[in-house]
Amino acid sequence: MSEPCFAICIKNTEYPAALEVRKIYQVVPDATAAAHQLMRIIDESGEDYLYPAGYFVLIDLPRAIQESLLAAA
């Protein structure tokens, strides 16, 4: 199993109901999406959807914070 990946939303222009600016989201690895400048994000619905990669900045978090975020989901 790969290390969990997280990103902060920096823009939500076309998706204000699904994404909150400045919120941390879990990223689901998807090489095909990345090749098209998209990221697969678990959004406010609790499901994963594709969004423009420019809407997010990937972040490195300490393991304890990653575990806390995953447990809260």
Q: The domain that contains 57 carries what CATH number?
A: 2.30.30
β-bridge mates for residue 39, sequence order: 51
Q: What is the pTM of this model?
A: 0.88
Residue with tokens 């969990």: 4
Q: How far apart are CA 36 and CA 20, in angstroms?
A: 23
> Total structural domains in the chain?
1
**pLDDT digit string (tens) for 44-62?**
899 999 999 999 999 999 8
- Per DSSP bridges, beta strands 48-52 and 38-42 are antiparallel
Domain span at residue 44? 5-72
pLDDT at residue 1, rounded to an integer: 46
Q: How far apart are CA 43 and CA 49, in angstroms?
A: 7
